Amino acid sequence: MNIGLTRSGAGSSSMSYSNGSIATFNSSFDGITNINLLGAGSMLEADTGFIRINFPVKVLVEGGGQTIGNLANVTGTEILSTPTDAVDNSFSGDCAPPTWISVPTGSITQTCSIASNDSTFVTILMGTPVVQNYKTVRWFPASTNSTGLPAVNDTLLYTIACFNTGTANIQDFQIIDTLPIGLQRIGVSNLSATSGTNALFNTNYPTSSYNVLVPNNQNKPILLKANGYLYVNIRVLVTAAASGLVLSNQAYITGTSFTTQLTDTKDYNTAPPILIDPVRPELRTNVLNSYIQNNQTAEYDPTLITISTLLPVDLVNFKVEKVNEESLLTWTVENENIWGYEVEKSKDGINFFNIGFQSAHNLGALNYYHFTDKYPYANGNYYRLKIVEKSSKFGFSKVIYLNFNDLKSADLIVYPNPVVDNQINIFVDNISNGNYNLNIIDGLGKVLYNNLLEVNDNRLNENIGFSKEFHSGFYFIYLKNENGNSFVKRILVNNE
């Protein structure tokens, strides 16, 4: 049988034949791997013998948009293999079957305009994919968090749900998600998918790609079947870089012949009805339990979270710089009434240990401190302050970073990526001071945006508004200073 047809579940088949003939229907016939309609030992009687078989089939979404014609072959001992419908119009001029055939009631009328006059040609209407999606976040407070709000060192679990309620498959299906600054994926993330949806979770996300999914067969693209679903859980750690920020995280849903969607473009106070899955009801329960329902979710955005600063003082600034062969940390605070500062260090920005302590001055409006790390790592050094109150409660500062041997290895961060609302932010921390040229270039090498930026405090944080000249597609951001230090990042713009 043709692609897009299946006998399974399509109903019962029937057979009639003359008294002298012997025939049985092959109940194992599926039209794919078992293509014999008749059972072993079937015989067609000479002269007046006949066999008539009716077998219903079901049209699958894979048949959408196709014109399906289906010939069968008649074979037997001492006869040549004869295709059915090989000469459909040999007995009449309108592609009707021979006069000795009784056409079954309900047969589709064919005309000679049909290619090759095939009396089984049927054109199947193209289906339409209809994707509904949702994204929520669940909060898991750390044991040290007593604020009642999401804070540094807490864990978040994002859940993305996609459900294709339409009548066509989506080819090259993908979820593209850029984590906000201050979140780091940790542990095991997982994916649940309906049978026939060939997708796995991308274990490299987001280190090397913002694509959440990878195909389970590298020779085939990801397919989201009609009436199929995907549920992705992504576990992240809140780092000090998110301290005091308001985080909202949308994802992109893309695919061939499918209009790109944003998750949460229509937020709800509860998870929408599309997440009711009769096959896996526990998945909907998971999404409902994930939703943070409190006053901080402005406009019912189910991914909007305010990260508590957890700081008992006002930290005016906190910096690190290379001095000779040592790292010099300096910080300034105000409104100080605490016990002191533990200076912590890390190789990976996650696992910190104490390298020193500074007692608080508690003298006036502004207090100044410095600390020297005499034994910095040759490569990356992460530092933070553990700010300890007199009651022994504590909070953490933001994390600062110094690559001791090569400041050029600082990373250019662009968010959101893909770009939404023609606005992006670019951020680079711990870079050399000076003037930088910022260029945005399209795939043909044309410079569409140019600006000269000045860096004074080893940090660049710039908001850029796109013009209408930026059509949907991929672009490259280049950042370069007069000393040749450069950064590059690819971005996706979607203005549909």
Give the DSSP letter string of 360-413: ----SSEEEEEEEESS--SSEEEEEEEEE-TTS-EEE---EEEESS-GGGPPPE
What pLDDT is recorded for position 276?
A: 43
Helix then strand then coil, % of the chain, to nearest 5: 5, 45, 50
Task: Provide φ and ψ at 157, rounded to 5°.
Answer: -120, 110
- What integer pLDDT is reported at residue 291 of this predicted model? 46
What six digits make up the tokens of 169?
Answer: 């498959």
Instruction: Please state, in angstroms and rounded to a whole number, the distance separating the CA atoms of residues 131 and 118.
Output: 37
- In this prediction, residue 40 has a pLDDT band, given cuts at 50, 70 and 90, of confident
At residue 282's C-alpha, the angle toward residues 281 and 285, to 5°, is 100
Assess whether pLDDT exceeds 80 at residue 346. yes
Query: Could you tell me which residues are beta bridge partners of residue 213?
Result: 201
Element (H, E) at 285: helix 281-290
**pLDDT class for 344, splitting at 50, 70, 90?**
very high
Q: How confident is the model at residue 438 (pLDDT cuts 50, 70, 90)?
A: confident
Q: Using the predicted structure, report yes or no on whether residue 290 has a pLDDT greater than 70.
A: no
Domain 131-306: CATH superfamily is: ntegrin, alpha v. Chain A, domain 3 (2.60.40.1510)
CA 433 to chain centre: 37
Q: Averaged over 57-63, what is the pLDDT?
A: 82
In the chain, residues under CATH classification 2.60.40.10 are 314-403
Instruction: Tell whether the model's pLDDT for residue 244 goes beyond 90.
Output: no
pLDDT at residue number 355: 95
Q: Please give the Cα distance from 67 to 330 (Å, whole number).
A: 73
Higher pLDDT pick, 50 / 357: 357
Q: What average pLDDT score do residues 366-386 get?
A: 87
Lowest-pLDDT range of 245-249, 264-268, 460-464, 470-474: 264-268
Average pLDDT over residues 273-284: 48
Compute the average pLDDT of residues 431-455.
79
Region 49-75 average pLDDT: 83
* Residue range 219-234: mean pLDDT, rounded: 86
Poorest-pLDDT segment among 19-28, 84-93, 371-380? 84-93
Q: Does position 298 have pLDDT exceeding 50, yes or no?
A: no
Q: What is the pLDDT of residues 125-146, one digit of tens each?
A: 888 888 878 787 888 888 777 6
Compute the average pLDDT of residues 3-11: 75
- What pLDDT band is residue 153 in, cutting at 50, 70 and 90? confident
Radius of gyration, alpha carbons of the chain: 33
If you average pLDDT over residues 251-263, what whole number do you get?
84
- Judge: domain 314-403, CATH 3.10.129.10: no
Give 359's contacts (C-beta < 8 A, 6+ positions apart). 339, 340
- Closest residue by Cα to residue 413 from 472, 466, 490, 348: 490
Read off the pLDDT band of 174 (50, 70, 90). Answer: very high
Rounded to an integer, what distance in angstroms lies between the CA atom of residue 174 and that of residue 176?
6
Query: Is 2.60.40.1930 the CATH number for 407-493?
Result: yes
Cα separation, 69 vs 123, whole angstroms? 9
Judged against a pLDDT cut of 80, whether residue 348 lies above it is answered with no
* pLDDT over 70, % of the chain: 80
Q: What is the pLDDT of residue 484?
A: 61
pLDDT in tens, 302-312: 677 778 766 67
Residue pair 315/301 in contact by the 8 Å Cβ criterion = no
The size of the chain, in residues, is 496
CA 277 – CA 492 distance, rounded (Å): 33
Among 14-18, 91-95, 187-191, 419-423, the minimum mean pLDDT is found in 91-95
User: Average pLDDT, whole number, for the chain?
Assistant: 77
pLDDT, residue 323, reads 82
By the 8 A CB rule, do 213 and 191 touch? yes
Q: Phi and psi of 282, rounded to 5°?
A: -65, -20
Q: Which residue has the higher pLDDT, 83 or 408?
A: 83
Of 411 and 179, the one with more pLDDT: 179
Weakest mean pLDDT among 248-252, 266-270, 460-464: 266-270
For residue 417, pLDDT beyond 90: no
